[in-house]
Amino acid sequence: MEMFFGFLKAFAVGGALCAVAQVLIDKTRLTPARILVAYVCAGVLLQAMGLYGRLVDFAGAGASVPLTGFGYVLAKGVEKAVDSMGVIGILTGGLTGAAAGIAAAMVFGFIAALIAPSRPK
Amino acid sequence: MTNAQYKKYADERAATSPVLKNTVKAFLIGGVICALGQGLLYLYMWAGAEKQTASTLVSVTLVGASVILTALDIYDSIAKFGGAGTLVPITGFANAVVSPAIDNKAEGYVLGVGAKLFTIAGPVILYGTLASVIYGVIYVIKSMVLGIV
């Protein structure tokens, strides 16, 4: 039963974050690329305010899978790095926290581009 | 109903109904992708991963799945229906990384694949990192004031 609610919360929170983005795309001049940038920055901001971690605790993948979750990982990485290494953590923390996601996208992306046939323009 | 009234009615319908429809579709598709992520999270935790490691593995798995679906031209078909529901999850980010890389393969592996891989990833990583560094400065100052660092 707890698992059922876990799925439900992930569905509802993740869906809601996507719905907000859809309204922004349809009602403003925000392009998809700007939405992604805005969501990552929003994730950093919300964690800076101490909020996003709570949403992750509540909704699990519903909060960590949307791109705001990527921002959260960046901010969380900075917190950890500063706590353990001091000032230098300002620079190292973000990318360290997000390293797995970034490296996966780059490596998988490269392999896909290597294998996929060129698309006619 | 007068012409003016009808025009107002028609405009309202035209303006609001697609937005509502798109929003519902984005909610459903985005929700399903996140629920899938939750399922993977349970799976990895069941297999013994810590919560944070499991969460990272979920991101990596979803990125991989999205890359495969993009290369097979399937992700874009889902995206036509799901709109922001396929954009906002990390699968949308992965799609935006791979798609231009494949499209520009003809330009070669340095300025084609290598550069175009970062068409979307570049700005996302740049502004995300920038925001995290700004937060880092604030976090250090806050920690100093509180006497932690």
ipTM of the shown complex: 0.94
- Show the tokens assigned to B128: 């995300």
What are residue B89's DSSP bridge partners?
A66
Crossing angle (nearest 10°) for helices B90-103 and A67-85: 100
Residue A121 lies in a domain: no
Cα A73 from Cα A87, distance rounded (Å): 18
Is residue A79 pLDDT above 80, yes or no?
yes
A18/B97 touch (CB, cutoff 8 Å), yes or no: no
Q: Are A105 and B119 in contact (CB under 8 A)?
A: no
B110/B122 same-domain check: no
B56/B24 same-domain check: yes
B110/B127 same-domain check: no
The closest CB to that of A65, out of B37, B117, B123, belongs to: B37
Cα B66 from Cα B74, distance rounded (Å): 9
Residue A120 lies in a domain: no
Q: How many domains does chain B have?
A: 2
B110/B137 same-domain check: no
B93/B46 same-domain check: yes
pLDDT score, position B126 = 97
Tokens 């000032």 found at = A87
B112/B126 same-domain check: no
* Alpha carbon of A1: minimum distance to chain B alpha carbons (Å): 13
A61/B40 touch (CB, cutoff 8 Å), yes or no: yes
Mean pLDDT of A70-98: 96
pLDDT score, position A1 = 79
The closest CB to that of B133, out of A12, A19, A91, belongs to: A91
Q: Which long-range contacts does A91-97 make (Cβ < 8 Å, 24+ apart)?
A: A91/B133, A91/B136, A93/B132, A93/B136, A94/B128, A94/B129, A94/B132, A94/B133, A94/B136, A95/B125, A95/B129, A97/A73
Residue A31 lies in a domain: yes
Which residue in chain A has the smallest CA separation from B69? A112
Cα B25 from Cα B84, distance rounded (Å): 9
B138/B86 same-domain check: no
The mean pLDDT of chain A is 95
Cα B63 from Cα A58, distance rounded (Å): 23
B110/B123 same-domain check: no
B22/B46 same-domain check: yes
- pLDDT band for position B4 (cuts 50, 70, 90): confident
Which residue in chain A has the smallest CA separation from B141? A87
What SS3 state is found at B89?
strand
Is residue B121 pLDDT above 80, yes or no?
yes
B84/B103 same-domain check: yes
B60/B122 same-domain check: no
B51/B122 same-domain check: no
For residue B27, give its domain range.
3-116
